[in-house]
Structure 1
């Protein structure tokens, strides 16, 4: 049984809720037709569906085969709150960047 985080990532991939995460996995699976098929089959499927379960098992195999991919996948997932906040920053950034889910009160950046 895949670890819970991989199941959560698979569910996020199924809904394409996180574009960057989807692109990361799609690129990793590009040379593997079986993994690519699992990703495609899970698209739009419910979190508790057999398709998402199969995708989470495929992710588990990919992570076991490539620990660096696993670290990148976990790092990407750790900063993403599916369905809530999805900020993507690219290029040179000057100044402060804040990513937040629920904020009670104000934010003052000096």
Structure 2
């Protein structure tokens, strides 16, 4: 079972919102068609699904084989807002063309009207 941080990194990679992180992993996996296939499969997968777990496992294996990659992966991860979310915390990340309203809130007791 991969570390929880690797699951989070895999989910961020799947969203492709973390460009530096995605580029780092894509370069690492460039000569490994199976690893690239897992990266691409995760891109269309919802968080918490098998493709995300498979990518996290691949990241764990790659990090175990290459300590420099493991360090670079964590360094890139720490640059992202997602890395600072703690249990019970709230994090919204809005990217791309968005229409409508976005609300970021912790505990809400009662209604929200916009």
Q: TM-score, normalised by structure 2?
A: 0.71
C-alpha distance in 1 between matches for 2:63 and 2:18: 19
C-alpha distance in 1 between matches for 2:79 and 2:20: 11
> Which residue is equivalent to 1:63?
63
Note the aligned Cα RMSD (angstroms). 1.7
Deviation, 1:53, is: 0.5
Q: TM-score, normalised by structure 1?
A: 0.73
Superposed, 1:15-54 pairs within 5 Å as 15-54=15-54
4+ residue runs of structure 1 moved beyond 6 angstroms?
none
C-alpha distance in 2 between matches for 1:59 and 1:27: 13
> Which residue is equivalent to 2:81?
81
Task: Structure 2: give runs of 5+ residues left out of the alignment.
Answer: 83-91, 95-114
